Amino acid sequence: MSRVEVQTIKTDGHTILLGRHSLAHLAELLATRDFAASKIFILVDENTLKHCLPLLLSKVAALREAEVLEIPAGEESKSLEIAQQLWAALSDMAADRDSLLINLGGGVVSDLGGFLAGNFKRGLRFINCPTSLLAQVDASVGGKVGINFNGIKNELGLFKNPELVFVDPEFLGTLPQREMRCGLAEMLKHGLVCDAAYWHELQSLSFYEPDELDKAINRSVQIKAEIVSSDPFESGRRKVLNFGHTVGHALEAYAMEGDMQELNHGEAVAVGMVCEAFISHRAGFLNESEIQEISSTLFENFPKIIIPDMAHHRILSLMRHDKKNAGGKLRFSLLEGIGDSCYDQEVPAENVIDALNFYKRWVSPIS
């Protein structure tokens, strides 16, 4: 994609504008009568307030009058307590059904902001301006919004589409490398579940080549948009996007309990993908060389996480809350090959434990 072009990708429920000039369209849109808002709110976290809000305001001057709502950075903000505070703020500031919420941040901001908007006065319009790589390629697209509750990831939530998503890679200029890698985890997942050529291209992706990065972001958004359009409410095929997430979400929730090293979502998904590739191998879907290729790519890009043996039982019990399970059985989305996936696969608990042990035995070059 050329750096001056703006590309449009549509899902079944919303449109995504991509490119370093895409926000010019937001400026134009806000000036139209059809889109006029009684009041505009911008949700940021402490980092996007500092690094991204000035860039947004420089590109969309009409937003200078907007009310800014700030939350602490990090997964802990996807909570009922924070949601309650923000609903109270919206109510005190007289937000009404014609108000517009702009989510300026990573996946935490778009998940929480969509959840706020979806529930406030039975639904406010919202726009996503994702600022982390992970949110640009995945979290901001597809209308799944929610918060963590009762120690479980995304336990409360709904499907609520944004009006629009603006994916402007210029925001990534201030994103720490560790967070760039978290985005790469979801991009690698896109390749693994449905596009082997993309998976191979990503092996040599440089974050420092804007054209290359923009092209890869575009490909990931296309994949996500195509899959969510085919199954907007995740009753079937969309479940393949959960590859790596059954183990990943349980690990992330376990790390938030405080008995393991701190773990970001993308890092947890990277561990989850190694484990679930192993489970796919055990299920007879992946051959030896595919599991080796997947694991070594992930270990080359992500530091090895120390998972204590005593955590296994708790991780399994957290996994039992996964939304894909049925009839008390663990169900996974698995790989049938590189670039090919399936869903609703029952997996015995012992295979999950063996997968964690497989991960732990791996000798990583960057551990």
Interaction site with ligand NAD (CB under 6 A): 45, 47-48, 51-52, 73-75, 78, 105-109, 111, 131-132, 134-135, 138-139, 142, 144, 171-172, 174-175, 179, 182, 264-266
CB 153, min distance to ligand NAD, A: 6
Cα dihedral sign, 127-268-86-67: negative
Nearer to ligand NAD, 111 or 214 (CB): 111
Q: Checking DSSP bridges between strand 15-18 and strand 67-71, what pairing results, if any?
A: unpaired
Query: 184-196: buried (b, 16+ CB within 10 Å) or exposed (e) per residue?
Result: bbbbbbbbbbbbe
Angle CA 225–226–230, to nearest 5: 115
CB 27, min distance to ligand NAD, A: 20
Q: Are 26 and 18 in contact (CB under 8 A)?
A: no
Nearer to ligand NAD, 56 or 260 (CB): 56
Nearer to ligand NAD, 202 or 291 (CB): 202
CB 266, min distance to ligand NAD, A: 6
CB 74, min distance to ligand NAD, A: 6
CB 25, min distance to ligand NAD, A: 20
CB 55, min distance to ligand NAD, A: 8
Q: Identify the three-state secondary structure at position 166.
A: strand
Directed axis angle between helix 265-282 and helix 288-301, to 10°? 170
Nearer to ligand NAD, 124 or 183 (CB): 183
CB 174, min distance to ligand NAD, A: 4
Q: Are 294 and 277 in contact (CB under 8 A)?
A: yes
Nearer to ligand NAD, 37 or 272 (CB): 272
The radius of gyration of the chain from alpha carbons, rounded to an integer in Å, stands at 20
Q: Quickly tell me which residue has 């720490």 as its tokens.
A: 176
Nearer to ligand NAD, 79 or 296 (CB): 79
Nearer to ligand NAD, 37 or 227 (CB): 227
Indicate the burial class of 336 (C-beta count within 10 angstroms; 0-12, 13-18, 19 or more): middle
CB 23, min distance to ligand NAD, A: 14
Integer CA distances (angstroms), 159 to 77, 145, 240, 314, 358, in order: 19, 6, 17, 29, 35
End-to-end CA distance of the chain: 35
List Cβ neighbours of 15 (8 Å cut-off, separation of 6 or more).
8, 9, 164, 165
Nearer to ligand NAD, 107 or 297 (CB): 107
Residue nearest to ligand NAD (CB): 107
DSSP-derived letter for residue 137 is I
